Structure 1
Amino acid sequence: MLELIQLNGYSGTGLAAVTEHAGAPKGSMYFHFPDGKEGLGAAAVELAQAQFEELLREAAQSEGSVAGSVRAVIAAVATIVSESDYRLGCPVSVVTLEMGAESDRLRATCERAFSSWIEPTAGLLQSEGLSAADALSLATAIVAAVEGAVVLSRAMRTTQPLESTADLLADMIAMRTGQVAGA
């Protein structure tokens, strides 16, 4: 479901396509997801959340700074977007845009996903000297900027918006934390 949401949107992904794509019998889907497409959509968002949380953890462990971590995450996202021929993006934003006003369950699931990316980023920023309020504000802007850059990259069929966002965010983080830009 996750890949199909990225390719076709939530609304454009039917249960028959999901079972066909998964090679699973239709009955097993209803056994595991008795609430149907909404439950499957929530599970797909939760999977995307976990995958991105892991990417954030790996970047934080391998890079020496928040700016470096943000650059690494954006580079990984740019690779996913470009290697998919600009067909894949963030499934959480897709579900939010399509279903946020229609399904409180899916909206809340998307909210939790975004929060799970903002909060650890804010924690990293706090570890580099920002107050809790400033760290949360900047972390929210970082996630919002990356989400927007993904949309622009897909529309423009280039990773340039992601690359520009990485540069700008690294500079902003360095400026806010008093570090040298590009660290």
Structure 2
Amino acid sequence: MKSDHVKMDTRKRLIVAMADLLQRKGLHGFGLSEVLAQAQAPKGVLYYHFPGGKVELAIVAIQAAVNNLLSTIEQLKTTKTDVVQVLHTFFSLAQNQLEKSGFERGCPLAAVALESTSADQALRQALSEGFRIIRSVITDLLSETGMPTERAIWLSTLIVSAYEGALLQSRIAASVTPVSETIDILLELIQQEIETNQKTR
């Protein structure tokens, strides 16, 4: 039983280390030795837990990052009174993380996506699914306000695309301005959509 706990703990540390490195350095900005060092894991253990090596671990780390995002939104839904507040707080948390990290910690999905090639089919599939889930969660949030489904889908696609682009610009410029201004615009647009929909019902 103790042995199983140790194995599970090591696996989790590897996933957390990989997610952090992906977020800060992208897929090709570090080697397995750095993952092992950050996870405080012995050599050889990575292939025990992830026979597919770095790519398999990256895919699992991406899935874990998406799950963490979903958990954060679910927690915010229990404390915030409306969708705009939920998204405002969520975006603010991400912005604060980016700024406090010296503009290193952006979106792990975007960082990997920019480096992927047509040969990285499994990786791209995981990224595509991750972005789909994120869009779906935002669509559901907007739909809860009574917004028509098609409009919610359209707006969620715009939100994810604009926000990811703003994060990239903020990292490059080492400034929160692009992401901060984009968040303000998106939240204003969401509020307008909600109010317009409520008036027409």
TM-score (norm 1): 0.92
Which runs of 5 or more residues in structure 1 are unaligned?
none
User: Which of the residues 110, 114, 135 maps onto 1:93?
Assistant: 110
Query: Does the CA contact (< 8 Å) of 1:100 and 1:106 recur in 2?
Result: no
Matched pairs, number: 179
For residues 168 and 99 of structure 1, the distance between their equivalents in structure 2, rounded to whole angstroms, comes to 30
User: Which of the residues 146, 151, 161 maps onto 2:163?
Assistant: 146
How far did residue 112 of structure 1 move? 1.4
For residues 194 and 148 of structure 2, the distance between their equivalents in structure 1, rounded to whole angstroms, comes to 10
Q: Percent identity?
A: 29
Larger radius of gyration between Structure 1 and Structure 2 = 2
How far did residue 100 of structure 1 move? 4.8
How well do the aligned residues superpose, as a CA RMSD in angstroms? 1.4
Deviates more, 1:168-177 or 1:97-106: 97-106
Q: Residues 103-138 of structure 1, C-alpha deviation per residue, up to 9 Å, x if partnerless?
A: 111111111111221112111111112111111110
Query: Does the CA contact (< 8 Å) of 1:78 and 1:159 recur in 2?
Result: yes
Q: 1:5 to 1:28 in 2, by over 3 A?
A: same
User: Which of the residues 161, 183, 186 maps onto 1:169?
Assistant: 186
For residues 159 and 60 of structure 1, the distance between their equivalents in structure 2, rounded to whole angstroms, comes to 25
Query: Does the CA contact (< 8 Å) of 2:19 and 2:62 recur in 1?
Result: yes
Higher relative contact order (CA 8 A, sep 6+): 1
TM-score (norm 2): 0.84
Query: Does the CA contact (< 8 Å) of 1:67 and 1:169 recur in 2?
Result: no
2:74 is aligned with what amino acid? R
For residues 162 and 55 of structure 1, the distance between their equivalents in structure 2, rounded to whole angstroms, comes to 19
| 4+ residue segments displaced more than 3 Å | none
Pairing 1:35–2:87 present: no
How far did residue 81 of structure 1 move? 0.2
For residues 163 and 17 of structure 1, the distance between their equivalents in structure 2, rounded to whole angstroms, comes to 32
Look up the match of 2:132: 115
Which runs of 5 or more residues in structure 2 are unaligned?
1-17, 197-201
Look up the match of 1:71: 88
